[in-house]
Structure 1
Amino acid sequence: MTDNDIWRLSASEIANRTRAGDLSVEDSITASITRMNIANPALNAVVEDLSAEALERARALDKARADGAAPGPLQGVPVTIKINVDQAGHASSNGVTALKDLIAPADAPLVANLQNAGAVVIGRTNTPEFSFRADTDNPLFGRTHNPWGKHISPGGSSGGAGAAVMAGIGALAHGNDIGGSLRFPAAANGAVTVKPGLGRVPAYNPSQSAERGILAQSMSVQGLLTRNAADLHLSMPTLIAPDPRDPFHVPMPWHGAPIEGPIKVAFTKNTFGYDLHPEVEAALDTARNALLDAGYIVEEVEPPNVFDAGRTGYRALMGEVWSLMKKDVDAAGSQTVRDIFAVYFQEFPPFLETELLQMMAKRTYYARKWSLFLEQYPLVLTPFLPQPFFKPDRDTEGAEGVHEVLGCAVYSYAINYMGLPAGCVPSRLADLPQGPQPINVQIVARRWREDLAVDACAAIESRVGRMCDLLWQKME
């Protein structure tokens, strides 16, 4: 492998080589920066280039290693951080022009955890305004494009992260997810991710002036987008390291106890009246067959009502947004995002006042139903979206557009509402009239068992291949 090809290495390969002394951190980071300079101008995925400080940090890590310091588990792995999370000395703008000078006084827990493990931040990635769209565009930095082509949205709100990691800009990309913001970009770009469950990754922004609403706290999680499942097993133990600034973080190990015998997987194609596209059905069948081939027991059976949980959960979240966030959107948001929020409130009529409190309480009812179901089936294989990923700006096209983008995505936000973990992995490359695009499926897991979801993602990936390899052939 030449120096020009180092960027193609997975996070696991980079860490193995740097820890063994076969690759310097400086060479790893230099290669990633070179790739960023080549790929990013067409994508606008990274909107703050941190090359200079990344190289300075890389040299410091190499010097410390030469002086006898032990290498970290993510030694020399290039990462990107989403612009809605604090990184000391940089703006946590959240895609909002009014926040462009909100400079973080210190690192958020996940940034500290990654850097303490030897990772190097090479840039900060784009997000839509307020990180509240499933597409990525804003007046401050502009539109992010999908590396598969401009016929597909890059997803959101971690669209910059998904586009960057799949284009080879960094081996790991940080993102977060309140209703699908890790899984939407994974599905759009063909990346692999796991949405952690409630309490799994410590979260806190030192720049914040007030605490978030209770549903925002309980539905939103921090995570990573990767090009292969093995990199999640490598990196997530670092991400979940405890931090006292998150008093509700649960310090459990990444790997849980082994499950005796073959793992049972519940499998559903139910899309609750929304049309199931043949390419999505084919992706589901491929994933099911891959799991069967890997030794899982897969049974077609309906889990507890996802549609009811998802719609209730998102209407509750919209009630909290209406009460706590709407005035900020009205004051600082563009006309585009204000119009989108107006349609959100139509698609998901907000629960308010006493009814909001009742629906927040009902969250436990749905979670209990699923916990009991997951005792019998530790994993559930589901669609992520019923249709292939939508085009850019589809959510600006009124009620019909928002319905296609978010209204039908009940398998996404239902899982946030119940605080469960869920993996998202590509299992098919669809050849559609508008162009090729990946199709991802979702794998829900028992509470605290993100590792089981990642294992299943790896089993699917081992039989269908890495989507990044096909993308890079196309990009070349």
Structure 2
Amino acid sequence: MADLIRLTAAELAARVASGDVSAVEVTEAHLARIDAVDEKVHAFLHVDREGALAQARAVDDKRAKGEPLGPLAGVPLALKDIFTTEGVPTTVGSKILEGWIPPYDATVTKRLKAAGIVILGKTNMDEFAMGSSTENSAFGPTGNPWDLTRIPGGSGGGSAASLASFEAPLAIGTDTGGSIRQPAAVTGTVGVKPTYGGVSRYGMVAFSSSLDQGGPCARTVLDAALLHAVIAGHDPLDSTSIDAPVPPVVEAARAGTAEGLRVGVVKEFRGEGFQAGVMRRFDESVALLRELGAEIVELSCPSFEAALAAYYLIAPSECSSNLARFDAIRYGLRVGDDGARSAEEVTSLTREAGFGPEVKRRIILGTYALSSGYYEAYYGSAQKARTLVVRDFARAFEQVDVVLAPTTPTTAFPIGERADDPMAMYRADLCTIPVNLAGIAAMSLPCGLAPEDGLPVGLQIIAPAMADDRLYRVGAAVEAAFRARWGHPILEEAPAL
């Protein structure tokens, strides 16, 4: 059964559908892998063993009765602990929700279950998705399977690490400023941030409502496309959900060509702070696309230099509003409720005990930016900068079909290295944040290992809103070309756990 954990999601689904292997056997193999390695990796916060096996048995029963199965039926998945899951703890990586059992499923959770996908459990994350390293989890950091002393990216480091450690073939993440793509880049996996509104946010605990977006994580471009097709689509329960057909992502991933495409390279995505090995692999990727028949177009997007500052005013402002609901009265942790204190005192004590340093930092920053006398100077100015980013992307897509960029400026850094330097941590999302500000689509996929440290480097492909299929078309072509060059998937070069 050990070989089952190395198969792609598409391969596993085909074997389950044919009866060559049962969904229970596939699930048991992955649960055994979790038992063997997760004590070291710490990708999971909660493993739902009984629930996963029950879901797997239901798939096997359907197959035995000759009922049709979905394209990913019986395939295990790791779910970021930001999506509500009925009867299963949802903590968002925070003490303030420790032990909370939601009474309902998020729309993404419902769609996974309806597709016959087996949810193994909930993955570790930066508290309330605030971070770039998964070090801000209240329950301890996750290690990068390539080097357990290094970060697996954030905020969805647990989901990415579960893929790279072969604990799950599929995962779900969320991306507010790069939290799907950045972990994918540093773990040698594939992560996609869909168009804003392309995947329902209902039941996804909010951080920054105008930026948050759930999306698929996988080890191959095709697997990500198959998962994308399951979770995407209009949801009347989400007022920001797009009422339009899902782009043909699976067909694009199966086609996989860059022939005749115009590909933009933004000059602002290089320079100081970018690791030499990362830029070397990026330049090789650009050359590869030229070999595949794409036309390379040099672009300039000056507003991108202000994107980081704009994001770190908009996101904290929205989080300060969203997190006001955690008041010790409605649900979650409650501290100091001894009958002698006022509601305000109980709320203050609870938030002091329940929120970690990074969450407190962002609440304070956001509250200040929204306060009387400062709103226009800070939040208002940030929204103007956001408009400039949107316009720069619009001009870029008048010239090109997709834009290329490094996913992250550096490879995975050591755990603890940036703990006392928030600005250094924030710069990890330098290349991903503009996409979220504009609400468009992007993918990260492996493009090699950095020569300095032998760690994965991610290539970012960016497409216009509702043109998510372009990500998969180009991504599949790049993936196939790199695998032909390497002779194997990049994860085969990762050290054994």
Q: For 1:241, which of 233, 246, 261 is the aligned residue? A: 233
Q: Structure 1's 29 and 272: CA in aligned 2 closer, same or farther, altered over 3 A?
A: closer
- Between 300-309 and 42-51, report the one with greater CA deviation: 300-309
1:375 aligns with 2:393: no
SS for the counterpart of 1:104 is coil
RMSD: 2.9
Matches of 1:101 and 1:335 in 2, distance apart?
A: 12
User: Quick check: 1:429–1:438 contact (8 Å CA) kept in 2?
Assistant: yes
Q: Is the 8 A contact 2:195 2:440 kept in 1?
A: yes
1:395 maps to which residue?
418
The AA in structure 1 aligned to 2:376 is T
Relative to structure 1, the CA distance from residue 348 to residue 376 in structure 2 (aligned partners, 3 Å threshold; closer, same or farther) is: farther
Aligned-partner SS, 1:312 = helix
Alignment partner, residue 469 of structure 1: 492
Q: CA deviation at 1:339?
A: 5.9
CA distance in 1, matches of 2:17, 2:367: 50
In structure 2, relative to structure 1, the CA distance for the partners of 1:299 and 1:373 (3 Å cut) is closer
How far did residue 423 of structure 1 move? 0.8
Go from structure 1 to structure 2 and tell me whether the alpha carbon gap of 1:47 and 1:318 turns closer, same or farther (over 3 Å shift). Answer: closer
Corresponding position of 1:142: 140
After superposition, what is the alpha-carbon deviation per residue over 1:257-312, rounded to whole angstroms, capped at 9, x for unaligned? 99997110011353465233210111111211221222221223324531223422
TM-score by length of 2: 0.85
TM alignment of 1:100-139, pairs within 5 A: 100-137=98-135
Q: Which residue of 1 aligns with 2:471?
A: 453
The separation in 1 between residues aligned to 2:289 and 2:425, in whole angstroms, is 28
Residue 358 of structure 1, CA deviation: 5.3
1:52-73 deviation digits (Å, cap 9, x = unpaired): 2211221121112211211112
Give the residue type in structure 2 aligned to 1:370.
F
By how many angstroms is 1:368 displaced? 3.2
Counterpart residue number, 1:417? 437
Residues 341 and 300 of structure 1: CA distance in aligned 2, closer, same or farther (over 3 Å): farther
Output the CA distance in 2 between the equivalents of 1:165 and 1:225: 8
CA distance in 2 between counterparts of 1:196 and 1:383 reads 18
Q: Distance in 1 between matches of 2:270 and 2:136?
A: 32
1:200 aligned counterpart, secondary structure:
coil
- Go from structure 1 to structure 2 and tell me whether the alpha carbon gap of 1:300 and 1:333 turns closer, same or farther (over 3 Å shift): farther
| 1:337-348 matched pairs, under 5 angstroms | 337-338=356-357, 342=361
Amino acid at match of 1:246: D
Structure 1 stretches lacking a partner, 5+ long: none
**2:8 aligns to what?**
10
Q: What is the aligned residue count?
A: 461
Deviations 1:14-52 (A, max 9, x none): 112222332221121121112221121211111211122
Q: Counterpart amino acid of 1:392?
A: I
**Do the aligned partners of residues 109 and 326 (structure 1) sit closer, same or farther apart at CA in structure 2, a change above 3 Å counting?**
closer
Task: Tell me, in whole angstroms, the C-alpha distance in 1 between the residues paired with 2:428 and 2:137.
Answer: 27
Q: Quick one: which amino acid aligns to residue 204 of structure 1?
A: Y
For the residue of structure 2 that corresponds to 1:223, the secondary structure is: strand
Q: Deviations over 1:114-172 (max 9, x none)?
A: 11111101121111222211121457532211111133211111111111011111110
Inter-partner Cα distance in structure 2 for 1:404 and 1:372: 30
**Counterpart in the other structure of 1:76:** 74
| 2:449 is the counterpart of 1:426 | no
AA paired with 2:101? I
Q: 250-259 or 59-68, which moves further after superposition?
A: 250-259
The one of 340, 351, 355 aligned to 1:332: 351
* Equivalent in the alignment of 1:438: 456
Q: Secondary structure at the match of 1:265?
A: strand
Q: Structure 1 residue 175: deviation in Å?
A: 0.7
CA contact (8 A) 2:132 2:428 kept: no
- Please name the residue that 2:36 is paired with: 38
Asked whether the equivalents of residues 280 and 388 of structure 1 are also in contact (C-alpha less than 8 Å), the reply is yes
Give percent identity, aligned residues only: 27
**How far 1:97 sits from its partner (Å)?**
1.5
Change (3 A) 1:261 1:11: closer
- Structure 2: state its 5+ residue gaps: 328-347, 484-488
The residue type paired with residue 444 of structure 1 is I
Deviates more, 1:179-188 or 1:245-254: 245-254
The residue type paired with residue 480 of structure 2 is S
2:471 is aligned with what amino acid?
A
Q: Bigger CA drift: 122-131 or 246-255? A: 246-255
Instruction: Return the alpha-carbon distance in structure 2 between the equivalents of residues 177 and 272 of structure 1.
Output: 22
The answer to whether the 8 Å contact 2:41/2:148 transfers is no
Residue aligning to 1:191: 189
Q: Is the 8 A contact 1:95 1:126 kept in 2?
A: yes
Segment drifting more, 98-107 vs 306-315: 306-315
Q: Give, in whole Å, the separation in 2 of the partners of 1:308 and 1:52.
A: 48
Residue deviations 1:195-228 (CA, integer Å, cap 9, x gap): 111111011118x7xxx57xx2220000121111
Specify the alignment match of 1:53 in structure 2.
51
Judging changes above 3 Å, is the alpha-carbon distance between structure 1 residues 295 and 14 closer, same or farther for their aligned structure 2 residues?
A: same
Q: How far apart, in 2, do the equivalents of 1:348 and 1:134 lie?
A: 22
Whether the 8 Å contact between 1:96 and 1:333 is mirrored in structure 2 is no
Corresponding residue number in structure 2 for 1:406: 426
Partner of 1:218: 210
Which string of whole-angstrom CA distances, capped at 9 and with x for unpartnered residues, describes residues 288-337 of structure 1?
12212222212233245312234223322223334554896985366994
Change (3 A) 1:139 1:282: closer
| 3-state SS of paired residue (2:113) | helix
Matched-pair contact (CA < 8 Å) for 2:199–2:215: yes
Letter of the structure 2 residue corresponding to residue 236 of structure 1: H
Contact 2:126-2:133 within 8 A present in 1 as well: yes
Q: What SS class does the counterpart of residue 150 from structure 2 fall into?
A: coil
